[in-house]
Structures are given as C-alpha cells and as structure tokens.
Amino acid sequence: MYNLRYHIASLVAVFLSLALGLVLGGLVVQQGTFDRSQKAIVAGLQRDFSRLNSDNKKLSAESEMLHGYASQMTSAWTSGRLKGRTVVVLTSGDKSEGLQSAIASIQDAGGTAAVVTLAKKNFGLGDAKIEDAARSVIGTTTDLNTGVEGALTAEWTQPLATRPLTDALVRAGAITVTGMKPSVAATQALDIAAFGRKPDQTALGIAQAYADAGFYAVGAQTDSSATGVAAAASALKLSAFDTLGTEVGRFTLVALFTGSQQGYFSVADGASSAYPPVPKP
C-alpha cells in the first residue's frame, strides 16, 4: 500500500512539473524573454521529470513483482483451508459489495459459498407479506427482528433437511438463496450487505447472532466501496476488513475463518493492522 501511495504521489508530481513548464513556456511566448533564471528553472524541471519518470518505472516494476508474489503466496497458503466448510455470504447483490470476489476467495480455499441475497433492506421485515411469512414460523410473541436473526442462524448452523423460516422468506420474495445444501451446516458467516451505501442492520444482526453462538462471523467491504459494513461490524465487536477484492483481502478472509487473531483490519484509523497474522498451525 505504501508503494501504491508513493506511485500516485510521483505521478502527481510529474503532472505538476509539466503544468508549471507549460505556464513558464506561455510566459516566454507572451513576453519574448528568456533570462538565465527561467532557463535554470526549466532545466531543473526537466531533470526532476526525468528522475520521477525513472522512479515511476522502477516502482511500477516493483509493484507488479510484489503483486505476483503476493498472489502466488496467498494461493499456496489458502489452498484447501476451507475444505468441507460452508460460509453464508449475506449480500444485497450490489456489484460494489464485492460478492464475486468473496465467492472466489471462499471457493479457491476449498469452501462452499451459500449466498443469501436480500431483496429489500432489513430483509423487507417492514412489508406486511414478509412479516406474516416470518411470523408464521417464529410466532407472534418474540420481537420480529431478533426472532428472525436468531431463527435463521439456528437453521443455517445446523445440518437440517428443511429450513422453515428460510423457505418462508424465499416464498415471500424477501431473499434468494443459492448453495445452501440440505443437511449441511453453514457455520461461518460473511456479511457484505448494504443498501444505499449503508450497512444492512438485519444482516449485521445475523452476523452478531453467529458470533454469539460461538461461530466465526466477519463483516467486509471492498477497498473501493464506502458501504460502512466493516466499521459497523467492528463496532459490534465482530471481525472486519475493508480490502475485499485484493490479495490482502483474500488472505484476511481465509485467515479470519481459520483461527487467526480476530479484529478490525484496515489502513483506516482504529484498525488493528492492515491484515491479521498468519494463524499458527
């Protein structure tokens, strides 16, 4: 990340140098003069441009080398580490959430991604049809949101042949589910769901319910999105990271699901570090 920032800074410096050169050139044309001090400034700018251009090429080559190395090392380390495990991925289906990156990271590590896509914010629990469908399973005496979060967590983390609340919400159009195999427990949860660049609260509630039940639960977002899922998950004391879609994010996802130190991993203020330590064998 340091190299990338330096790379960007060097490019900005190059363009500033070019801009200043154009301004000076315009002054020369307008005034018809070109004294020694102006010549010295232009010569200095040319030297700076040449140096920055050379540094930029070196940084680009170094960045490409490090990316290739990180990709190979991450693939070697993550290979097979999620074998036999099913991870529930909570999403709204928005491209900015990084769903495909999450699925690829899980599958490349040998795991299965059970994708639960929310059709509406907060599972649409404000909709009468969806509420009736949920109440038909959880009853009328419990708080709706708490009841749904707890019941779905119980259904997904056990190897059940049928999942009544899940099926009811699918029929009501609240969610779609793929990869949730009957009689297979999905004991890990990854929340990336957001609507209008705000984290979905019911999805966060399910992640919290997973953690409360003793399972791994992680909140994540891509390095280029502003969904706020990672920070919101961290505020709930869940593990979180905001580098989904990068090699660092691929390592972080698998590491957090296989016993690494839990925490908030980001370059933002308040994070534990950019990525977790490699879990001990």
CATH of the domain at 143: 3.40.50
What is residue 18's predicted lDDT score, i.e. its pLDDT?
57
Q: Where are the beta strands (DSSP E) in the chain?
A: 86-91, 112-118, 175-178, 188-191, 194-195, 198-199, 216-222, 239-244, 264-265
Residues 193, 55 within the same domain: no
3-state secondary structure of 241: strand
Q: Along the 281 residues of the chain, how does pLDDT read in single tens digits?
A: 444 554 555 555 555 555 555 555 555 555 555 566 767 777 777 777 778 777 777 777 777 777 777 778 888 989 999 999 999 999 999 988 999 999 999 999 999 999 999 999 999 999 999 999 999 999 998 899 999 999 999 999 999 999 999 999 999 999 999 999 999 999 999 999 999 989 999 999 999 999 999 999 999 999 888 899 999 999 999 999 999 999 999 999 999 999 899 999 998 777 879 999 987 76
Tokens 């001990």 belong to residue: 280
Structure tokens, 114: 């059970």
3-state secondary structure of 218: strand
Residues 146, 65 within the same domain: no
Residues 130, 251 within the same domain: yes
What is residue 1's predicted lDDT score, i.e. its pLDDT?
45
What is residue 15's predicted lDDT score, i.e. its pLDDT?
57
Residues 142, 221 within the same domain: yes
Domain count, the chain: 2
Residues 167, 186 within the same domain: yes
Residues 133, 204 within the same domain: yes
Residues 105, 156 within the same domain: yes
Residues 149, 22 within the same domain: no
Q: Which residues contact 186 (CB under 8 A, 6 or more apart)?
A: 86, 87, 88, 114, 156, 157, 180
